[in-house]
Amino acid sequence: MPTAKSQHKTFGQSPFIRMGMEVGQAPELRRDLIKRIEDHYECTVVTFFTSFTKQDVAIVDTDAEMLESLLSVEHKGGKLMLVLNSPGGQALAAERIVNVCRAYSKNQFEVIVPHMAKSAATMICFGSAKIHMSKTAELGPVDPQVPYWAEGDKEDDPSWISAEEYIRSYDKLMNFASSGKAKRLEPYIQQLGRYDARYIERLRSVQKLSEDISVRLLKSLMMKGKSSDKIRNNIDVFLTQKRTSSHGRMINYEDAGSCGLKIGLIDLGSDVWHSLWELYVRSNWSTRHNCGKVIETSTSAVSA
């Protein structure tokens, strides 16, 4: 006759319980996948996923605190691998996350991109010693984006435009209006009236900050020994909107490698890739339906 203990164990493994876990994509379903990746790379693996579909889930300073809360009790030192999938967020927050990861790994910090690490998430990749990605994975430009309300846009749902593009349009109008070539100044004055010079200067500062953080992160680890100017020239495709035309444009492993980034190519037919892709599918579903962001290890999880 089954004991109470065996009945409890049987119920815990029943289709009813397993279905509930699958529907809700409980963290327990991803822990074995994380453990497999840890075994392959022989290091601690932490995942960091943020939603591509929800509002107000940008990478922010509190994410660095969430990450440190896990690492302070679970990482015993040595190599650290961050599985990163995010549309981005704040540049300063990305810098802080890199600082946390480097501190707890003594600079043995690497990143895996299973699908997309864009904008500030690409900056986190810049802060690693190596970026692991497949032929289908993407990095993206790090040029800052700013809200722009085109005609018909709702106040809480603006369009977004590259800060570089916004500044360039202002400079072009100013240069033409002051060049003496314009037959009539009124059209230019009217258009310039839509700009705030103080806001333009703020955007120049934000643009400079993004570039400075990117170069400093690379210079201090992945591209150590290279000059700031050399690094800046190498990663120009990441820094300027002119090169890619769109902030969402894909920068793949070949493009990244040609910039001098250290890339580890993951074979799409390998066992570790199948584990990574399943981890991505499950974690991405969770950030679409359950929460906006999640940070997990093989034993713990925090979400927001």
Q: Is pLDDT of 5 > 60?
A: no
pLDDT digits (tens, 9 = 90+) for 229-261: 999 999 999 998 765 556 668 999 999 999 999
Q: Is pLDDT of 4 > 50?
A: no
CATH code of domain 27-140+250-303: 3.90.226
- Residue 133 CA to residue 203 CA, distance in Å, equals 32
Backbone angles phi, psi at 231, to 5 degrees: -65, -45
DSSP string, 107-121: T-EEEEESSEE-THH
Strand (E) positions, 66-128?
Answer: 80-85, 109-113, 116-117
Q: Is pLDDT of 15 > 70?
A: no
Domain ranges of the chain: 27-140+250-303, 144-245
Q: Is pLDDT of 218 > 50?
A: yes
3-state secondary structure of 299: coil
Q: Is pLDDT of 207 > 70?
A: yes
DSSP string, 252-280: -HHHHHHTT--EEEPPTTSHHHHHHHHHH
Handedness of CA 91, 93, 98, 99 (dihedral sign): positive
Lowest mean pLDDT among 41-55, 101-115, 212-226, 244-258: 244-258
pTM of the model: 0.87
* Mean of per-residue pLDDT scores for the chain: 89
